[in-house]
Structure 1
Amino acid sequence: MRDGTVADFITVGDGAMQRRIAVRVRDGSGPPVVWLGGFRSDMGATKARAVDAWAATAGRRFVRFDYSGHGESGGDFSAATISTWLADAQAVLAAHAPEAPVLIGSSMGGWIACLAARVLAERGGAPPTGLVLIAPALDFTEDLMWDRFPPEVRATLERDGVWLRQSAYAPEPDGITMALIEDGRRNRLLTGPLDLGCPVHILQGMQDPDVPHTHAFRILDRLPAAGTVLTLIADGDHRLSRPQDIARLLSAVAGMGACPLSAG
C-alpha cells in the first residue's frame, strides 16, 4: 500500500534527453487526482502537500511528480521545454492514472494539464473527469514572457539563446531559453476555441503579479460555457497558498465528478 511518502521513478525520453522522473503515489479509490506543478516548483509545494493530506483523509488516489529539471527528478532544466514537461506528465498519467483523472494544474501546470487533456481528446481516449486550474498560465512563454520582454532581452535571447532571469521563487536565476520560447509557440492553446471535453474550474487571484486575472478571462472566452467555472479571489496572489485559498482548492477538487458535464 503506497502512502505517497516514498518517491518512485519512471524513465522518460531517449538518448541525451532520457531522464528519471520522481513520482509519489498515494493509493486510494475514485478518479485519481494528479498534481501538475508550476514553473520551477516541485511536488513538495504547500498546495501539493495540502491535496495529499486531503487525499489521505478522503481515501482518494493521489499522484504528484516533479518535471524534468525540477525537484527530485533528473534532467537539465535549461534543456527542457513545454513539450519536455508535457511528455513527463503523459508518462506519469499512463503509468499511474490512466483512467479519467482529475488534473490539478498550478500556473504552468495549468497549461500542461490542458495540453494533456487535448492529447487525450485527439487520440480518442476517455477525457479527464475534470480540471482544476490555479492561476493557469496557458501560453505564458509568448503572452506573459516574450510579449513583455524589452527589446534588449529579446536581443539577448536571439543572440545567445538564453537569458538569465532573476526569480522571486528560487535563489538562482531561471535560464530562459529561446528553445523554450519557440517550443511554447508550437503548443499555444489560446489561438482558437478550446474544448477539453470535461468540466474546468479556474481559481484566480486578482492580485497576481505573474498571471494577471485578465489572462483567466482570455481562457474563459475560449472554453465551452457548459461545465466551466471561474472563481476570482479579489485579494489573492499568484501562490494562492493561504488557508482560505487551499480550502477553495480542496472544495473544487472534491466537487469534480459530482456533476456531469451535461448538467443544467
Structure 2
Amino acid sequence: MRETSGSLERPDGETLAWRREEGAGPTVVWLGGYRSDMNGAKAQALAAWAVESGRDYLRFDHLGHGESSGDFVAKGAITRWREDALAVIDDLTEGPLVLVGSSMGGWLACLAAMARPQRLAGLVLIAPAPDFTEKLIAPALPDEARAALLTDGVWLRPSAYGSPDPITRLLLEDGARWSILDGPVPIEVPVRVLQGGADEDVPWRHALGLAQAVKAEDVVFSLIKDGDHRLSRPADIERLIAAVSEL
C-alpha cells in the first residue's frame, strides 16, 4: 500500500486536490459535504481503514474547499461540483466504484451514480442532503437573508461549526436544477444510509425520503437516535466502516 496525491486540472484552470490509498477494488470514493474537506474525521478514518484492509480509496476536495482552488462564492454550485466529481471519477479511477457521500456529498454521490450507473457497485450515504438548497435552506431563509441575496447575491449564515456559511443566490438557483426527490431516483445498486436522529441540519425524515425514493431494493436505512449531523464519534465511524466494508 502506498499513498499518492496530486491535483486534477479543470478546463478553466482550477485544480482539484486529491489523495489516494492504492489497493484492491472496488475503488471507494469519498465525496465530502458543504464546506468540509478530505482531511475530516470520517475521510481520514476511511483512509486508515483502506490502508489496513488493502483497499483502493480516493478522496478529493471540491472546488473552493480545502486544498482545491476556486472562488467558493463566485463558482460554488451543484452543477460545478457535480461536473468536478464526474471528472475525478472519469480521470482518476477505473472499474467498479463504491461512492461514499456525506451531507451535500450524498446528493453529489447520487447525481454521479445516476450519470455513471455502469460504474457503480454501491452507495454509502451519511446524513444525505439531496435538494438541500430548495427544500432545507430556501424555506427557512429569514427576511434579512432574502434581502442580502437580492442586493449582494450572498448571505453569511451563522454556523455552529465555525465561521459563517456563505449562502449564495447562485447556489440556490442552480441547486433547483438538480432536484431528485420529486420522483423515483434511478439508482439500483445497494445503498446504505446512516442518519442521526438528532441531526439539526438534515432532518432524519429528509434522508428517509431519499432511501424510499431510490429504485434499488437493497436499501438499508440506519437511524442513530442520538446521532448529530457529523456522525464522527467512534461508534459512528465504526458503523461507517462496516457499511463500506459490506459493499
> Structure 2-normalised TM-score?
0.96
Q: 1:40 aligns with which of 17, 35, 42?
A: 35
Q: 2:143 aligns with which of 126, 151, 164?
A: 151
Give the Cα–Cα distance (whole angstroms) in 2 for the partners of residues 137 and 244 of structure 1.
22
**In 2, are the aligned partners of 1:127 and 1:197 still within 8 Å (CA)?**
no
Q: What's the counterpart of residue 13 of structure 1?
A: 11
2:110 equivalent to 1:140: no
> Structure 1-normalised TM-score?
0.90
Give the Cα–Cα distance (whole angstroms) in 2 for the partners of residues 151 and 234 of structure 1.
33
Q: What's the counterpart of residue 234 of structure 1?
A: 225
2:49 equivalent to 1:54: yes
Q: Which amino acid aligns with 1:65?
A: F
Trace 1:46-125 onto structure 2 (pairs within 5 A).
46-79=41-74, 80-121=76-117
Q: What's the counterpart of residue 3 of structure 1?
A: 3
Shift of 1:167: 2.1
Shift of 1:225: 5.3
**In 1, are the aligned partners of 2:188 and 2:216 still within 8 Å (CA)?**
no
Q: Per-residue displacement from partner, 1:156-207 (whole Å, max 9, x unpaired)? A: 212321111122223x322211010011000111110002131111000000
Give the Cα–Cα distance (whole angstroms) in 2 for the partners of residues 96 and 127 of structure 1.
13
**In 1, are the aligned partners of 2:196 and 2:231 still within 8 Å (CA)?**
yes
Shift of 1:127: 3.7
Q: CA RMSD in A?
A: 1.3
How many matched pairs? 246
Shift of 1:100: 1.7
Give the Cα–Cα distance (whole angstroms) in 2 for the partners of residues 95 and 145 of structure 1.
33
Greater fraction of residues in strand: 2
Shift of 1:87: 1.4
Shift of 1:63: 0.1
**In 1, are the aligned partners of 2:188 and 2:215 still within 8 Å (CA)?**
no
Shift of 1:152: 3.1
Give the Cα–Cα distance (whole angstroms) in 2 for the partners of residues 192 and 159 of structure 1.
34
Give the Cα–Cα distance (whole angstroms) in 1 for the partners of residues 91 and 26 of structure 2.
15
Q: Which amino acid aligns with 2:134?
A: E
Decide whether aligned partners of structure 1 residues 113 and 151 sit closer, same or farther in structure 2, where only a CA change above 3 A counts: same
Shift of 1:13: 3.1
Shift of 1:154: 1.9
Give the Cα–Cα distance (whole angstroms) in 2 for the partners of residues 216 and 73 of structure 1.
28
**In 2, are the aligned partners of 1:193 and 1:222 still within 8 Å (CA)?**
yes
Q: Greater shift after overlay, 53-62 or 95-104? A: 95-104
Q: Per-residue displacement from partner, 1:106-152 (whole Å, max 9, x unpaired)? A: 0000000000011114xxxx141100000001111111100111233
Q: What's the counterpart of residue 164 of structure 2?
A: 173
Give the Cα–Cα distance (whole angstroms) in 1 for the partners of residues 137 and 152 of structure 2.
17
Partner of 1:129, secondary structure, is strand
Give the Cα–Cα distance (whole angstroms) in 2 for the partners of residues 155 and 193 of structure 1.
35
**In 1, are the aligned partners of 2:9 and 2:15 still within 8 Å (CA)?**
yes
Q: What's the counterpart of residue 223 of structure 1?
A: 214
Trace 1:180-195 onto structure 2 (pairs within 5 A).
180-195=171-186
Q: What's the counterpart of residue 260 of structure 1?
A: none
Give the Cα–Cα distance (whole angstroms) in 2 for the partners of residues 112 and 87 of structure 1.
10
**In 2, are the aligned partners of 1:202 and 1:230 still within 8 Å (CA)?**
yes
Partner of 1:185, secondary structure, is helix
Gaps of 5+ in 2: none
